[in-house]
Amino acid sequence: MVTIIAILIMLACVVLAFFILVQNPKGGGLTGTFGSVSSQVMGVKQSGDVMEKGTWTTMGIIAALTIVSIMFFTSPKERQQQNAPQQSGAPAQQQ
């Protein structure tokens, strides 16, 4: 289960990187890339809102997945106790 969550976190990180790289810090971003076509189709303000909402949503997904992944991890002490052989109450007899 931890492997599946780790893969989902990595995919969400790639999506987050896409959202961040597409945005332009000076306000152009996606709208500046496509010129007037995007302003006619989506509108200048709307494309910025979509990128910002996508960034925040993806960050929330990553945060939630990391918190959920903690539930599936066990401490090293618990793992040692699980892997240790069970000892019976009676002492071992020598022959």
pLDDT at residue 7, rounded to an integer: 94
Which position has the token pair 């189709």?
41
pLDDT at residue 11, rounded to an integer: 97
56 three-state secondary structure: helix
Q: What is the DSSP letter of 24?
A: -
**Each residue's pLDDT expressed in tens, for the chain with a length of 95 residues:** 888 999 999 999 999 999 888 887 665 555 555 554 444 454 455 566 788 899 999 999 999 999 999 888 766 677 667 666 666 565 666 66
Q: What is the largest CA-CA distance in the chain?
A: 92
**The model's pTM:** 0.58
Which structure tokens are listed for 81?
Answer: 């106790």
> Do residues 18 and 12 lie in contact, with contact meaning Cβ atoms separated by under 8 Å?
no
